Amino acid sequence: MPHKPRFVVAMLARAVAGLRLTARPVVRVTSAAFSTSAKGDDSKKPVEDDDETDPDTWLGFNGDLDAATEDGTATWLQAVRTVIDLKEEEKLEARRKRQEAHAALQITRVVEIDELGRAYGTGRRKTSNARVWIKPAAEEGKGTVRVNKMDMVDYFTRDTHRHELLLPFLEIKRLGHFDVMANVRGGGLSGQAGAVRHGISRALEKYNPDYRVPLKKAGFMTRDPRMVERKKPGQKKARKQFQWVKR
């Protein structure tokens, strides 16, 4: 069933005005809508008020539904497409302004190395805290990792903990290029390995800010917020409950 001309014109007018296209035409009620009839009837009937917007300003649509452009496209359809293009341009312009504002506030990161040529980073995981210093290895490819004045192999007996600790170097392809000295306190071996890894990642960023992008993408720059959930009163553990006995 074809649309009525009045209905299509109303839809296009709302689109040009920047409103959402709906399936109902606009009905405006004027002060004369509620008038008493000559017979004294108190019934009130709303009176539709025609939109007085000039159709010539509707982006090339003059109100004639049969009119078409030179390429055969209906003028009302071309006007709707123009409205959509304008909306897309507004979105792109808003996005460009947000990017410019973000670039203006962008933080400039600098190299932070002490007088001994070391970069420092603090790492945390669960209840473990690690203080980590890194510096270039004396011989490339033969860097050492010491944790609490012990060799990494002697301190962390599990391969999974050793592998987790070295993940930042593997991510930037610099395994064996740095000497690492870490002091870690609190928690167990799993938490301490995660804390040292976090500290190494932060120290690498201080040594070379270009390392931040791959480390951030891998998730090594973010402190892992997962912690042991506390025990609840009236329950056996955090989630586990006592066995229920009916009688």
114-153, pLDDT tens digit by residue?
Answer: 999 999 999 999 999 999 999 999 998 899 999 999 999 9
The residue among 106, 138, 159 that closes a domain is: 106
Q: Tell whether 121 and 93 lie within a shared domain.
A: no
Q: Look at residue 5 and tell me if it is in a domain.
A: no
Any idea what the CATH number is for the domain that residue 163 is in?
Answer: 3.30.230.10
Angle 229-198-104 (CA atoms, 0-180°, nearest 5)?
Answer: 105
Q: Tell whether 179 and 137 lie within a shared domain.
A: yes
Closest CA to 165 of 208, 119, 132: 132
Q: Look at residue 35 and tell me if it is in a domain.
A: no
Lowest mean pLDDT among 26-35, 59-68, 232-241: 26-35
Q: Tell whether 102 and 120 lie within a shared domain.
A: no
Distance CA 198, CA 225 (A): 12
Whole-Å CA distances, 5 to 12, 185, 230? 11, 78, 68
φ, ψ of residue 181 in degrees (nearest 5): -125, 120
Q: Look at residue 48 and tell me if it is in a domain.
A: no
Q: Which domain holds residue 79?
A: 64-106
Q: Look at residue 147 and tell me if it is in a domain.
A: yes
Q: Tell whether 117 and 167 lie within a shared domain.
A: yes
The residue among 72, 106, 140 that closes a domain is: 106
pTM here is: 0.60
Q: Tell whether 166 and 126 lie within a shared domain.
A: yes
Angle 105-106-108 (CA atoms, 0-180°, nearest 5)?
Answer: 125
Count of alpha carbons within 13 Å of 64, Cβ hemisphere only? Answer: 8
pLDDT of residue 14: 65
Q: Please tell me the total count of domains within the chain.
A: 2
Q: Tell whether 179 and 127 lie within a shared domain.
A: yes
